[in-house]
Amino acid sequence: MSRNDAAPGTATAPPGRLRRLLSLLYVQCLIGVLAGAAVGWLWPSFGADLKPLGDGFIALVRMMIAPVIFCTVVHGIASMGNARAVGRVSLKALIYFEVLTTVAMVTGLVVVNVVQPGSGLHVDPSSLSVKGLPPEATASHESVAAFVLAMIPDTLLSALTGHEILPVLLVSVLFGFGLNAAGGTGRGITEGVERLSRVLFTLIRWIMRLAPIGAFGSMAFTIGNYGLETLRHLFLLVGSFWLTALFFVLVVLGAVMRVNGLRLLPFLRYIKEELLIVLGTSSSEPVLPRMMAKLQHAGASKPVVGITLPAGYSFNLDGTAIYLTMGSVFLAQALGIDLSLTQQLSMLAVMLLTSKGAAGVTGSGFIALAATLSAVPHVPVAALALIFGIDRFMSEARALTSVVGNGVATLAVAKWEGQLDEERARAVLRGDLPFTPVPEAEHTAVPQTDPAAGAKPEATDPEAPAGRDREPVPAAG
């Protein structure tokens, strides 16, 4: 008798659908988020003590980010065979980032001026104090030159042991170009880097099984430490910010996807696990390795993914861009400071700089807002005390918007560079080709089109090793 056959005279066991549903990571994360919110609401003190669960999970993933970016970028560039193509991808990505960041900031600026969530609060500036704010918010902030110099690590290896993404990206690009220029000498190293990346993604798969626990702990801490009552007086700001972020995702990013022949809602379903992890942990960092793997699985070439997505974590934070404009103008409204259009546009210009380098960790948007206020004389930095208590409730929206924005940016740049398999992308977003975190030795094919020959060579998986005599991504142009 098979395991599924019921014995005579006994009740039939329920089908395995529930078990399969509970085995899905996004369902487990959703349960973790809801359970954490309930624990934080019912037992605030206990919920606040669960913060180490979320911090531990984020730390586990963060230790994998630098080597994953290094292996992905190095192997992609070394296999690409065309240094000009790498520069072209980088330039297109940076132009896209600046345009979309500006659109996000203007969107936030329009909404906050129309809704005016801070009007009527009549806060006395003399009653404000920087006491209680994090030290980073009141510290002096680096200049543009210091920001650029900070991209250069002390040593080649120190970039892989730090917490900043841009130094890792710089070292990876240089090392990839070095292997490319070495020819046959560097081929063995390139193959070794590719095999190492497989090991790293296996470790990522194991760590991601802890995501529901991390989401549970982070959400319990947020609700338990700050409480839902914190939202009562500032509900208009939080609500308008979430709605603005949703508008930007659905309308602006939806339009970008449409222009590139894809649809946004299927893409959101495709990355639903990552979105729930971001919602629970209030950080976009934990999903970076999986987003890289999923975008490659969706048909974007490895070099484009390796360059565009990590760079977007510093240069394309759409959620933070919206937050900066809405937060700064809200504080001015609350203090009764009437900002002219010229003053608001000057603040926007400063924000285009202060938003860069605010990596996807919790609270980075708040620090970027502090840097903005310290760089312009219109609103005192002490005004940040008005929104410090609710910042955590807006951090989730910032991270969610930025994750979606960087995923859309990667697909858009891949399409413009001719390194997106559109047929595969549509099939993946339809659900015809499910994503598996670590493919087996024999993979599902990912065809790439040679623009010169107009034919599709033998297909490879985005994480599969390239053949010795074949580039995984033909050089465009």
- The reported pLDDT for the residue numbered 408 is 95
Tell me the β-bridge partners of 130.
none
| Greatest C-alpha distance within the chain | 81
The sign of the dihedral angle between the CA atoms of 148, 153, 159, 162 is negative
Task: State whether the Cα torsion 246-326-252-266 is positive or negative.
Answer: negative
What integer pLDDT is reported at residue 144 of this predicted model? 58
pLDDT beneath 70, residues of the chain: 1-15, 79-83, 120-148, 163, 226-233, 353-365, 374-377, 389, 437-477
- Give pLDDT tens digits for 50-72: 888 888 887 887 788 788 878 87
pLDDT of residue 462: 40
Residue 37: predicted pLDDT: 84
- Report the distance separating Cα 159 and Cα 371, nearest Å: 25
Q: What is the CA radius of gyration of the chain?
A: 23
Query: Cα–Cα distance between 21 and 12 in angstroms, integer?
Result: 19
The candidate with the shortest Cα–Cα distance to 106, out of 327, 332, 322, is 322
Residue 284 tokens read as: 């976009």
Question: CA nearest 166: which of 226, 213, 97?
Answer: 97
**Which pLDDT belongs to residue 246?**
94
d(CA 133, CA 105): 25
What DSSP string runs through 1-46? --TTSPPTTSPPPPPTHHHHHHTSHHHHHHHHHHHHHHHHHHSHHH
Q: What is the value of pTM for the model shown?
A: 0.71
User: Which burial class, exposed, middle or buried, applies to 376 when counting CB atoms under 10 A from its CB (0-12, 13-18, 19+)?
Assistant: middle
Give the model's pLDDT for residue 131.
53
- Tell me if 371 sits within 8 A of 138, measured CB to CB: no
Q: What pLDDT, on the 0 to 100 scale, is given for residue 447? A: 42
Phi-psi region of 247 (alpha: psi -120 to 50; beta: other; left: phi over 0): alpha
Say how many CA atoms lie within 13 Å of 138 toward its Cβ: 12
Q: Can you give the pLDDT at residue 452?
A: 37
Share of the chain above pLDDT 90, in %: 16
Burial class (CB in 10 A: 0-12, 13-18, 19+), 461: middle
Dihedral sign of CA atoms 440, 444, 448, 449 in order: positive
